[in-house]
Amino acid sequence: MRRLIELSLYPFDALPEALALTLLAVITGVVLLLLVRTTTPQRFVDRARNRMTSAVYETRLFLNDPGRLIKAQGRLVVWSFVYVAAMLPAFVLAAVPMGLYYLHLEGRYGKAPVALGAPLVLRVDYAEGRAPADLALNLPQGVRLTAGPVGVPHLARVYFRLEVQRPGVYDLQLRAGGETLSKRLVAARGTPVSDTRGRGFAALFEQSLEPGLPAGAIEKLSLIHPDRTDTWLRMPWWMYWMVGATVAALALRKPLGVAL
């Protein structure tokens, strides 16, 4: 799944960030429209929306008639629940892929490279009762070890403190027992950032763009990069993405024949 998502995003990595995220927002809006059209009862959605609209107008027209006002508000509540129920299949089906894409886009638009000279921590999580006895970290030129390893047995973790001395994208090599594992460190703009590298189904829902770890004592490698502070039209990137997708969906719903 991770590889498929990365493959689908690969063409956008060559574009300017503003253009890439805008195109992704438009494509997201179109995909959501097609999902709504194929998974929801469109006539029922249209009917529920019209009934909600009529209830709103009726509420405004009969402000001086408490009886009719209460009835109109009751119909508005009922048809609102009906509308949400009709749209629910599309919401449910969109939730998981949208969440997975969010994690991959976060590494592109929400995370920043590590600052030169700033301390950062590599955290190694190992399986309980399987503490590696000969844990060693091989660092490339440009990255130096400033402290560690520091073990915390009751948490089944080992920590290394590092410092980046010059820009670049680095692969940190960790030797544990008879295996060698790598963890990406990004200290230059233009490369997607990956905070963790884990194993199993749970790793799909972490901010990780790297292949899963093989079976062994080490369960996860974590190296948290800083968050980006820039905004998109005064919005965080994820809000720009969602607002752009919503605007695209509203603009294209009639040409695509979708009731919202």
Tokens coding 6: 């990365």
63 and 144 both lie in a single domain: no
**Which residues constitute the domain of residue 151?**
119-223
171 and 80 both lie in a single domain: no
CATH number of residue 162's parent domain: 2.60.40
47 and 78 both lie in a single domain: yes
What's the number of domains the chain is made of?
2
The SS3 call for residue 174 is: strand
85 and 149 both lie in a single domain: no
Give the pLDDT score at 105.
Answer: 96
Tell me if 50 is assigned to some domain. yes
pTM reported for the whole predicted model: 0.85
- pLDDT tens, per residue, the chain with 260 residues: 778 999 999 999 999 999 999 999 999 999 999 999 999 999 999 999 999 999 999 888 888 888 888 998 999 999 999 999 999 999 999 999 999 999 999 999 999 999 999 999 999 998 887 777 788 899 999 999 999 799 898 899 999 999 999 999 999 999 887 788 999 999 998 899 999 999 877 777 888 888 888 888 889 999 999 999 989 999 999 999 999 999 999 999 999 999 98
Question: How many helices and strands (H and E) does the chain possess?
Answer: 5, 8
46 and 97 both lie in a single domain: yes
Q: Given the structure tokens 């592109």, which residue do they identify? A: 108
